[in-house]
Structure 1
Amino acid sequence: MKLIIGNKNYSSWSLRAWLALKQSGLAFEELTVNIGGDDWAALKRESGEIMPSGKVPVLWDGETVIWDSLAIMDYLADKVGRERYWPKDDTARGMALSMVAEMHSSYMAMRSECPMNVRKRFDGVQLTDAARDDIVRVLQLWAEARARFGKGGPFLFGTFGAADIFYAPVVSRFVTYGIAVPGFARAYMEAVWEHEWMQAWIAGAEDERWIIEQYETAPRV
Structure 2
Amino acid sequence: MLFRLQILLIIGGIALGIYSFQEMRAGMGASSDPVAVELADLEAGSSAPDKHLQVGDHIALYHGTFYQWEQQNNEPENGGSRVTKAYYPIISPTHPYAEGMDADADLESFAVLVKTNRFSTIGEIPDMPGPVQSISGLTRPASVALESDFQDLLRSDYPGINLDQILVLEDGRQPTSVALGIIMMLASAALIAAGGAWMFASARS
Which interval holds the TM-score relative to the shorter structure? under 0.3
Structure with more contact order per residue of length (Cα contacts < 8 Å, sep ≥ 6)? 2
- Higher helix residue share: 1
Bigger radius of gyration among the two = 2
